[in-house]
Chain A
Amino acid sequence: MLEVANVGVRFGGLVAVDDFSMTVEQGMIHALIGPNGAGKTTLFNSITRLGPKTTGRVYFKGEDITRLPDHRMIHKGIARTFQNLQLFGKMTVYENLYAGYAFHFGRSLPSIFAGSHKSFEEDVRARISDVAARTGIRSVLMNVPRNLSYGMQKRVEIARAIISEPEMLLLDEPAAGLTYQETEKLDRVVYDLSRNKGITILLVEHDMNIVMKISDRISVMNFGKKIAEGSPQEIANDPEVIRVYLGGEESA
C-alpha cells in the first residue's frame, strides 16, 4: 500500500533518517516505534512532506508521491493527524468535520445557489453523524475544539481525517499527552477503523501499550535506521529491541 524506499534526511551534518525502507501492507495497523530522537517523526514528516528535503522515494499504491503537494495527499486517499493537533480553532467540531469533507465533493461549489446543495448537505450530515458516532464525539459536535479535553480533540482530528473515507491514515503520536483512559478509548477507535472500515494505518507511537495491543506489524527505529521489523510478539522478544528500549549491557 505504502512503500518507503531508501528515505534519508539530513540536518546539516546530522543524519536523522539513514536510508530507511519500509512497506505498509493493505489493511494493516503498522506501527513505527523507537526511543526518543530515533527519527520517527522526521521520517513521518518526510513521508507527508511537511519536513525538510529528503532523498529516496515514497510510493502509494505503486504511484510515486514523493513530490506530491501536501494538499493533494488527501485527494489520493491519504489522511493524517498531527502530534500537536491542527484543528480549526474558531469552527465548531461539526464545521471542522464539514471542512474535512467539503473539499472532496466533486469539483463544484456546495454553494447556496447550486442545485446540488441539498443532497450535499444531507450526505455530509449523515457522514458527520456516522463518523462522530464511530469516534465517540457525538455529544460535542456543537463545541469549539479548545473547550474540549485533549483526548476529545485528538478524536475530533481523527474524525476529520477519516470523514473523506481515505484508504490510508497516518497517525503521528496519537496517544501523546493522553491519560490512560483516553488512550484506551483512542486505541479502540483506531482498531475499529482498521477492522471495520478497512483503513490501512501507519502509526508513529511512543506508548508501547497501545502499540503492542493493536498493531499487526511493527518497525523499530534507532538512530535513523531500522533495527527490527515484525509482529508484536517477534518485536517483544527481539534482543536488539530489548537492548535499545530497556538498556542492554552497554548502558547497564
Chain B
Amino acid sequence: MNAFLQAITIGIPQGALYGLMGFGIAMIFRSAGTLNFSHGYSAMVSVLITLTTIEWFFDAGIVEGHAALFAAIPVGLISGAVFGVLIDLLLMRRVKHVSPASMLMITLGLLLVFEGTANLVWSPDYESFPRILPGPPFIFEGTGALEEIRVVFRRNDLAVMLIALVISLSLAAVMKYTKIGLAIRARGQDPVGAQAVGINTNRVDSIVWGLALLLATVVGILVAPITRVHPTMLMNTQLLGITAAVLGGFSSLFGAVWGGLMIGVLERVIDIFPALDGYETAIIFFLIILVLVFKPQGIFAPKQGRKA
C-alpha cells in the first residue's frame, strides 16, 4: 500500500513531463505532419544553453545564487523556440509539400546534428543542473491506523507539477479561445480549407514548431536535475513522450498529457515488484502494441461516428 502511494507520488510528476513532451510531439505531428525524432535533442541543446548562461551569469557576477537559474531560463526557452522556427523555415518548408518521408529523415538527421553539436561544443560529460525548488523533500507520515504510510515527495516535484498544470491549462485555453489556437486546429484538420478561410498555413507551422520546442525545453529544464545534463539526457523522455502521444492518440493533443501521466505512474508501479525490475520499458511498450492493435485511434479517442 505504502509502496503503491509512493509510486504514484513519484510517477505523476514524471508522467506530467512525458505528457508535455508528447503534447509537443503530437502538435507537430498533427499540424506540420511529421514525427519529430529530434524533439528531445534540440531541447537538450537548449538546456545546455541554459546551463552555460547560468555559468556565464555566475562568472560575470551579474546575478547571484539561485536567481541565476531564473535569469537563464528565458534564454533557454527562447533558444528552444528559435530552433523550432529555424527548423521549419530552413528545412521543413522546402520539403513539406514534396515528401513526408523526407521530413522524417530530416528530423532523424537533426537528432544526430544536435547530439554531435552537444558533444563537440560542450562535452559528453554529465553536468549537474540546479533545481527550481531546492531543499529537503516533504515527508508525509500517517498516524493511528495509517501509521504504516510514509510517502516521500521531492520538493522539486511540486514545481514540476505546478508548472505542468499551468502550462496544460493555458495551452488548452490558447487552443480553444484564441485565433492562433483556432488556426492550429484548422490547419491540422484540413490544410486546404484552412487556406481557403485565410489562414497562412506556413506561418502556423512555424508557430507550432517554435511552441512545441519551447515546451520541450521546459521539460528539459525540469527533468535536468534528475537526469543531469548530457547529450542523451532526454532520450528516454522523448521516447516515452512519443509513447504518450500514441497512447493518447495523435488525434487528441490532451490525450498525450493523460497518456504521459499513465505511463509515468505505470513505470513506477511496475518498479514495486522486484520480479519485474528492469522490464518497465518492455512492459510499457508491450501495452503500446496492444493499444495500437485494439484501439489505434488512442485510448481516449471518441467513438467513431458512422460515415455519412
Q: Which residues of A contact B (CB under 8 A)?
A: 50, 69-75, 79-82, 86-91, 98-100, 102-105, 109-112, 144, 146-150, 153, 160-161, 164
Contact A69 B200 (CB under 8 A): yes
> Which B150-203 residues have a C-beta within 8 angstroms of A?
173, 177-180, 182-183, 185-186, 189-190, 192-201
Contact A74 B197 (CB under 8 A): yes
Task: For B1, list chain A residues within 8 Å (CB).
Answer: none
Task: For B183, list chain A residues within 8 Å (CB).
Answer: 103
Give the distance in Å from the alpha carbon of A99 to the alpha carbon of B182 in the complex. Answer: 7
Q: Pick from B173, B189, B196, B307: contact of A90, CB below 8 A.
A: B189
Give the distance in Å from the alpha carbon of A148 to the alpha carbon of B307 in the complex. Answer: 9
Given A75-B198, A147-B308, A164-B197, 11 more contacts at CB 8 Å? A70-B196, A73-B198, A82-B193, A90-B185, A99-B186, A102-B197, A103-B197, A105-B179, A110-B178, A146-B305, A150-B308
Task: For A149, list chain B residues within 8 Å (CB).
Answer: 308
Q: Pick from A70, A104, A105, A146: contact of B308, CB below 8 A.
A: A146
Q: Pick from B178, B186, B196, B305: contact of A74, CB below 8 A.
A: B196
A110 to chain B, nearest CB (A): 6
Task: For B305, list chain A residues within 8 Å (CB).
Answer: 144, 146-147
Task: For A153, list chain B residues within 8 Å (CB).
Answer: 308
Contact B192 A82 (CB under 8 A): yes
Q: Pick from B179, B185, B198, B199: contact of A91, CB below 8 A.
A: B185
Contact B190 A87 (CB under 8 A): yes
B258 to chain A, nearest CB (A): 18
Question: What is the total of A-B residue contacts with beta carbons within 8 Å?
Answer: 85
Residue of A nearest to B179 (CB): A109
Q: Which residues of B contact A (CB under 8 A)?
A: 173, 177-180, 182-183, 185-186, 189-190, 192-201, 251, 305-308
Give the distance in Å from the alpha carbon of A99 to the alpha carbon of B181 in the complex. Answer: 11
Contact B200 A86 (CB under 8 A): no
Task: For B190, list chain A residues within 8 Å (CB).
Answer: 86-89
Task: For A81, list chain B residues within 8 Å (CB).
Answer: 196
* Most chain A beta-carbon neighbours within 10 Å: one of B177, B195, B307: B195
Contact A103 B185 (CB under 8 A): no
Q: 16 A-B residue contacts at CB 8 Å? A: A50-B192, A73-B198, A74-B198, A86-B192, A98-B182, A100-B197, A102-B179, A102-B197, A109-B179, A109-B180, A110-B178, A111-B177, A146-B307, A149-B308, A164-B197, A164-B198
Give the distance in Å from the alpha carbon of A92 to the alpha carbon of B45 in the complex. Answer: 41
Task: For B182, list chain A residues within 8 Å (CB).
Answer: 98-99, 102
Contact A103 B198 (CB under 8 A): yes
Give the distance in Å from the alpha carbon of A80 to the alpha carbon of B195 in the complex. Answer: 10
Give the distance in Å from the alpha carbon of A73 to the alpha carbon of B195 in the complex. Answer: 9
Task: For A99, list chain B residues within 8 Å (CB).
Answer: 182, 186, 197
- Provided the pairs A86-B190, A86-B193, A146-B308 are in contact, do residues A104 and B185 lie with their beta carbons within 8 angstroms? no
B61 to chain A, nearest CB (A): 38
Contact B198 A104 (CB under 8 A): yes
Residue of B nearest to A145 (CB): B308
Task: For A72, list chain B residues within 8 Å (CB).
Answer: 198
Residue of A nearest to B201 (CB): A71
Task: For B177, list chain A residues within 8 Å (CB).
Answer: 111-112
Task: For A105, list chain B residues within 8 Å (CB).
Answer: 179
Give the distance in Å from the alpha carbon of A69 to the alpha carbon of B182 in the complex. Answer: 20
Task: For A103, list chain B residues within 8 Å (CB).
Answer: 179, 183, 197-199
Residue of B nearest to A146 (CB): B308
Give the distance in Å from the alpha carbon of A80 to the alpha carbon of B114 in the complex. Answer: 43
A77 to chain B, nearest CB (A): 11
Task: For A74, list chain B residues within 8 Å (CB).
Answer: 196-198
